[in-house]
Chains A and B, each alone.
Chain A
Amino acid sequence: MNQEELIINMGPQHPSTHGVLYLELKLNGEIVLDCKPHLGYLHRSIEKIAENRTYTQFIPFTDRLDYLASMNNNLGYCLAVEKLLNVEVSPRAQYIRVITAELNRVASHLVAIGTFAQDLGAYATPLFYAFRDREKIVEIFDEICGSRLTYNYMRIGGLSGDMTAGMDKSIKDFIAYERKMLVEYNELLTYNAIFLARSKNIGILPKELALNYSVTGPNLRASGVKWDLRKDEPYLLYDKFNFEVPTGIVGDAWDRFKVRLEEIAQSLRIIEQALGALPEGNPISKVNRVFRGTGESYMRTENPRGELGFYIVAEGGFNPYRCKIRSPSFSNLAVLPELIKGLNVSDTVCVLGSLDIVMGEIDR
């Protein structure tokens, strides 16, 4: 048979590339022979901006990295600066940090699940269900910090303000509601025959390849590596809480979906325990707004998409001398060309959706 290679451009304006990602696909008919990702359509050089802002002024910019998990980015940056300057954080602030970060993880995973199902052709229903649930979290955040997407809630040494009175009741209501909904997601999606046919054994990521590519987060755990920074190198208060680390078996798209769904349940457990032990006190930061330090620190935190690292070099000025952001989606996307070789074009969308990337933190 006569084989003709065809090159098509997927993106940068494409509903399934989750942002402005441009994939150059080399095809033989419907089969992908090679894939070349082109990045940079959202490049704002946030690392350069960090060198021209004081430490506190840079916090709002971390919101714009992974815009679906702003709280976790705030947390990672604040922990890195606190590690550099040895700042104490009050217990109440630490508990509220855990609660908000885990709520944001649930919201982020809900978006991942909803858009993944949408990518597979489950038109609108799962997406609307997921966004309906996420809306409740967004309303809680609106009440706590006055913003729906870019929160800018954490400060170096604490938080910008205390949790509003009565918030613990609405969070508890949400936990009870979401547990019921998780059962529904399982009934609706997880073992649905069409969903299984589209995602099972598609885009298998072996364990060794995942480690070599430095893939982290739910994508790594779906490949069967039981590795979670919250469990294995606990930061903040995570060693005080009981929770499991869900893992997959094969490492296909379905496993990545299932791990995210199970992580929501574990996050809800953490939030419940943290709410039960929430101490009294003042969570508002006592650190001056302007300060300086010397030295360097590297801090990793477990974001919904993987391990977010901040490498901060300080040379005594009011601004960081260098601030490198190691974003999880960047390394997770690098493995994509290996996964989709030999698959159909429609499976490219499935694999990309299951990797759950956010272009804001890839391009920075």
Chain B
Amino acid sequence: MQINDILQKIKEKFPSLETVALPNALVIPQSSLFEVAGFLKNEMDFENCHCITAVDRKDKMEVVYHLYSTCNRLMLTLKTIVELNDLTVESLTPFWKSANWLEREVYDLFGIKFLNHPDLRRIMNPDDWTDFPLRKDFKRLDFIPRPQTMGLKG
């Protein structure tokens, strides 16, 4: 089974869904992520939520899910675009318990809120911390980015 077959199956199940297939990833709209993830878990045998992370693209954020299916030996990369004025995604903890800590980590470092998460607290930084360190606009007086070495400009 390849990524195109998965896309075909998702299209059959959700005809109105607008998905974009990148060379190695699928982009799912924020609103229908929960249903698609449930379909992938329960009917497509993606029993392993390997990794959840986010990428700050400055004007928007991407939440990236790496799902793995042991019987099909297939790694699927799901992406959801989140706008800066609405940094919320539905939590996937009902399907994968591993999502619990991974989502807490994304919340801690990027400030993306996961709706219906059972225990959304900061996981690495102190609880009274207010910044989100992995955002590109993160600035603190004690964090000075390393100056570019000569010949490395651009």
Contact = CB atoms under 8 A, between A and B. Distances in A.
Interface of A: 39-40, 43, 45, 47-48, 52-54, 209, 211-214, 227, 232-233, 290, 296, 298, 300, 307, 309, 311, 313, 318, 321-322, 324, 326, 330-331, 334, 363-364
Given A40-B123, A48-B134, 11 more contacts: A209-B97, A211-B70, A214-B98, A298-B75, A309-B66, A311-B53, A318-B152, A322-B53, A326-B50, A326-B53, A334-B98
A214 B125 contact: no
A40 B125 contact: yes
A326 B145 CA distance: 24
B49 interface: yes
Interface string B119-154: 000111110000001100010000001101001100
A321 B134 CA distance: 11
B78 to A, nearest CB: 12
A315 to B, nearest CB: 9
B124 A363 contact: yes
Given A47-B134, A214-B96, A53 B146 contact: yes
B88 interface: no
12 contacts: A39-B123, A39-B124, A48-B134, A48-B138, A52-B145, A212-B47, A212-B98, A213-B98, A300-B50, A311-B64, A326-B50, A331-B102
B77 interface: yes
Contact of B49 (A47, A48, A214, A324): A214
A212 B146 contact: no
B101 interface: yes
Contacts of A331: 98, 101-102
B134 to A, nearest CB: 6
Contact of A334 (B77, B100, B133, B152): B100
Nearest to A227: B70
B17 interface: no
A214 B48 contact: yes
Interface string B50-62: 1101011000000
A322 B66 contact: no
Contacts of B98: 212-214, 331, 334
Contacts of A298: 51, 66, 75, 77
Contacts of A321: 55
Given A43-B124, A212-B98, A233-B73, A54 B152 contact: yes
A214 B100 contact: no
B113 to A, nearest CB: 19
What 9 A-B pairs come out closest when comparing CB atoms?
A214-B98, A40-B124, A324-B53, A326-B51, A43-B124, A334-B101, A52-B146, A322-B55, A212-B97
Contact of A311 (B51, B96, B123, B145): B51
Contacts of B56: 322
A40 B77 CA distance: 28
Contacts of A209: 97
A209 B98 CA distance: 10
B3 to A, nearest CB: 13
B129 to A, nearest CB: 10
Nearest to A309: B51
Contacts of A307: 50
A296 B64 CA distance: 12
A334 B109 CA distance: 18
A48 B133 contact: yes
Contacts of B70: 211, 227
Contacts of B100: 334
Contacts of B126: 40
A20 to B, nearest CB: 12
Contacts of A213: 97-98
A300 B50 CA distance: 10
B124 A311 contact: no
Contacts of B146: 52-53
A54 B49 CA distance: 30
Nearest to B106: A324
B34 to A, nearest CB: 17
Nearest to A233: B73
